[in-house]
């Protein structure tokens, strides 16, 4: 069993919990997720099975889409609704739609973020949340992330109250912390803020309509029925150029030989060599010999 299973992760479960349960349902140990979702977040979590675990990193690095509720008025230690309140501004607030949309525009594009203390980012070999639980404050590495699009989903023209909530859609690149984005929105509006709720609506090419829940998969006990829910591993490579090879190059590719560089590599992406539309290898420019290319990933002929 090889391929990608788009899972709808429900609240209350870790990504590892999902992998553990799927190993039992699918009857295989070779199962891996494509980027963690916090237990309090539900949404699209593509699962790689068998040979598809080799392409998990490509899905992890692909774009994501979320729907989040931003709450203006309170800041929490975790930057989401689960953390203890550290700042509480109870004054009456009023924002126009134009003001909020202008704020979202300012945060679109490449922006700098500082990961929250309650996160899995490692500093000096330890995860930030390990420091946070001990009450130790450490310097956190800043990162540049890409926000492709921010859209205000609520249709109101005025937002007011002592605590103001509104829903937004986020299309972003890898490494983006939506919790931190909520705090940044609040900072530009002049108030403390946190992320009240979050749903991941897309990961790479997969959306909710492609997904199954664990309960649905448990019903599909038959292997043939389960197989119909699994997408080919080629899906994870869809953003790269595909090159269907002829018989003269077949043996070279399946044995992972270093070859003269294909001009397609000049586009900045790896290329996927296929036979009968099945991926055989992902090639990239040789790290020390730019006129050559070498395999980054290899797949069995009959995966």
Q: What is the pLDDT of residues 20-39, one digit of tens each?
A: 999 998 888 999 988 788 88
pLDDT of res. 140: 81
Would you please indicate which residues are annotated as catalytic (active-site) residues?
38
Lowest pLDDT segment from 127-131, 247-251, 279-283: 127-131
Domains of the chain listed by start with CATH number = 3-62+204-235 (3.30.2350.10), 64-201 (3.30.2350.10), 241-298 (2.30.130)
Q: Which residues contact 210 (CB under 8 A, 6 or more apart)?
A: 6, 44, 231
pLDDT of res. 267: 85
Sign of CA dihedral 215, 219, 221, 225: negative
Q: What is the pLDDT of residues 84-126, one digit of tens each?
A: 999 999 999 999 999 999 999 999 999 999 888 777 778 778 7
In the predicted structure, residue 137 carries a pLDDT above the cut 90? no
pLDDT of res. 114: 85
pLDDT of res. 209: 93
Q: What is the pLDDT of residues 151-175, one digit of tens each?
A: 999 999 999 999 999 999 999 998 8
State mean pLDDT over 58-75. Answer: 95
pLDDT of res. 120: 73
In the predicted structure, residue 302 carries a pLDDT above the cut 80? no
pLDDT of res. 223: 64
pLDDT of res. 136: 81
State mean pLDDT over 60-82. Answer: 94
Lowest pLDDT segment from 116-130, 142-156, 235-249, 281-295: 116-130
State mean pLDDT over 202-207. Answer: 92
In the predicted structure, residue 300 carries a pLDDT above the cut 80? yes
117 φ, ψ to 5°? -60, -35
pLDDT over 90 for what percent of the chain?
Answer: 71
Mean pLDDT over each residue of the chain, to the nearest integer? 92
pLDDT band of residue 218 (cuts 50, 70, 90) is confident
- The 3-class SS string of 43-55 reads EEEEEEEHHHHHH
Question: DSSP readout, the chain?
Answer: --EEEEEEEPTT--HHHHHHHHHHHHT-S-EEESS---TT-EEEEEEEEGGGGGGHHHHHHS-EEEEEEEEESEEETTSBTTSPEEEE--S-EEEEHHHHHHHHHHTSEEEEE---SSS--EETTEEHHHHHHTT---PPPPEEEEEEEEEE----SEEEESSEEEEEEEEE-TT--HHHHHHHHHHHHTS-EEEEEEEEEEETTEEGGG-B-HHHHHH--SHHHHHTTPBPGGGGGTTS-EEE--HHHHHHHHTT--EEPPGGGGGSS-EEEEETTEEEEEEEE-SS-TTEEEEEEE--TT-
Q: 46 or 127, which is more confident?
A: 46
pLDDT of res. 186: 98
């Amino acid at each position: 069993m090889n391929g990608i299973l788009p899972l709808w992760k429900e609240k209350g479960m870790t990504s590892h919990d999902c992998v553990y349960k799927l190993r039992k349902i699918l009857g295989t140990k070779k199962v891996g997720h494509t980027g963690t979702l916090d237990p309090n977040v539900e949404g699209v979590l593509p699962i790689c099975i068998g040979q598809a675990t080799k392409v998990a990193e490509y899905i992890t690095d692909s774009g994501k889409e979320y729907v989040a509720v931003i709450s203006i008025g309170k800041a929490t230690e975790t930057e989401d609704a689960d953390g203890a309140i550290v700042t509480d501004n109870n004054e009456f607030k009023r924002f126009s739609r134009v003001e909020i949309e202008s704020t979202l525009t300012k945060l679109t594009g490449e922006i700098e973020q500082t990961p929250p203390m309650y996160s899995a980012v490692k500093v000096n070999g330890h995860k930030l949340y390990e420091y946070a639980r001990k009450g130790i404050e450490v310097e956190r590495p800043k990162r540049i992330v890409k926000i492709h699009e921010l859209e205000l989903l609520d249709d109101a023209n005025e937002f007011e109250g002592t605590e103001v909530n509104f829903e937004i859609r986020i299309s972003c690149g890898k490494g983006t912390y939506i919790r931190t984005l909520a705090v940044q929105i609040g900072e530009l509006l002049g108030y403390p803020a946190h992320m009240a709720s979050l749903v991941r609506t897309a990961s790479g090419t997969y959306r909710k309509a492609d997904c199954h829940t664990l309960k649905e998969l448990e019903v599909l006990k038959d292997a043939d029925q389960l197989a119909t829910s699994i997408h080919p591993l080629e899906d994870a490579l869809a953003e790269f150029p595909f090159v269907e090879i002829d018989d003269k190059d077949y043996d070279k590719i399946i044995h992972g030989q270093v070859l003269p560089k294909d001009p397609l590599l000049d586009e900045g992406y790896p290329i996927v060599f296929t036979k009968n539309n099945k991926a055989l290898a992902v090639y990239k420019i040789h790290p020390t010999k730019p006129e050559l290319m070498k395999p980054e990933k290899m797949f069995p002929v009959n995966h």
